[in-house]
Amino acid sequence: MMDSNIVIKVTDATVRFNKATESYNGLKEYVIKMLKGELMFQEFLALKDVNLEIRKGESWGLIGTNGSGKSTLLKLICGILKPYKGRVEVKGSIAPLIELGAGFDPELTARENIYLNGAVLGHKKAFMQQHFNEIIEFAELEEFIDVPLKNFSSGMAARLGFAIATIVKPDILIVDEVLAVGDAAFQEKCKKRMEKMLEGGTTLLFVSHSIEQVKELCKNIVWIDKGNVRACGKAEDIIPLYD
């Protein structure tokens, strides 16, 4: 059983993917080889024996180069991926902002996507109606309410996603690089909202290639390199090692 203050516990977690070792000329060849048992794969370990304990109200930054395993770890914590080995325990509600556009339908308008994404996050229609104007105002999309999302810029979509995900105070907020597409003013707006949520006891997991953003928001750091945790601890101790 987890300590009552621990909201995320990752124990000896390994994530394995299979990479094709040869290319195939279309779906037909792939299916034929699959039926014959001739598909060749190479094992790839995206995360290797990761151990991590995160307590309620803590702020953690995940740092590392592209492909190091940061997003894989977040997806493991969200339950999108299951560990090949090991265990992941999570206590409380999660608001995930992992992939730009996740939970949105590009053919639907901003208005329609607010209710769709709210349903994905488990909110009832009445709740979304109650907070509709607040979401639109925070996302600064008053003039685009009935425009299909496919016509939005990536920054506009990110603003809408963040506004919906943070309309309530989740136990755990997970943010993975999606704010990088927003302008400086909106990033500052999001930073203030996340700081307010941290003050209210929300736990934050934050991924950014901007070490300055990580320093501003996170008191703790996990440095992941090629699927391995290179270092884990207080930000002031880990960031100099990474730099």
Q: What is the pTM of this model?
A: 0.79
Average confidence (pLDDT) per 10 residues, the chain, 243 residues: 82 84 62 62 83 95 92 91 94 80 85 91 91 94 94 88 86 80 78 88 90 90 95 93 82
pLDDT of residue 38: 59
Residue 190 lies in a domain: yes
Residue 202 lies in a domain: yes
Distances (CA, A) of 163 to 64, 93, 223: 27, 17, 28
Residue 176 lies in a domain: yes
CA distance 225 to 69: 7
Residue 1 lies in a domain: no
Residue 57 lies in a domain: yes
pLDDT of residue 91: 93
Residue 209 lies in a domain: yes
pLDDT of residue 20: 57
SS3 per-residue string spanning the chain:
CCCCCEEEEEEEEEEEEEEECCCCCCHHHHHHHHHHCCCCEEEEEEEEEEEEEEECCCEEEEECCCCCCHHHHHHHHHCCCCCCEEEEEECCCEEEECCCCCCCCCCCEHHHHHHHHHHHCCCCHHHHHHHHHHHHHHHCCHHHCCCEHHHCCHHHHHHHHHHHHCCCCCCEEEEECHHHHCCHHHHHHHHHHHHHHHHCCCEEEEECCCHHHHHHHCCEEEEEECCEEEEEEEHHHHHHHHC
For residue range 26-64, what is the model confidence (pLDDT) as tens digits?
A: 666 656 666 666 555 567 789 999 999 999 999 999 999
Q: Six-digit token pair at 65?
A: 């180069």
Domains held by the chain: number: 1
| Contact (CB, 8 A) for 159 and 139 | yes
pLDDT of residue 121: 80
Residue 9, sorted as left (phi over 0), alpha (psi -120 to 50) or beta, turns out to be beta
Range(s) of the domain holding residue 79: 6-242
Q: List the strands of the sheet with 41-55, edge to edge.
A: 41-55, 6-20, 85-90
Residue 50 lies in a domain: yes
Q: What are phi and psi of 211, to 5 degrees?
A: -60, -30
CATH code at position 86: 3.40.50.300
Question: Greatest CA span in the chain, whole angstroms?
Answer: 58
Q: Six-digit token pair at 122?
A: 């488990």
Residue 45 lies in a domain: yes
CA distance 7 to 72: 19
pLDDT of residue 191: 84
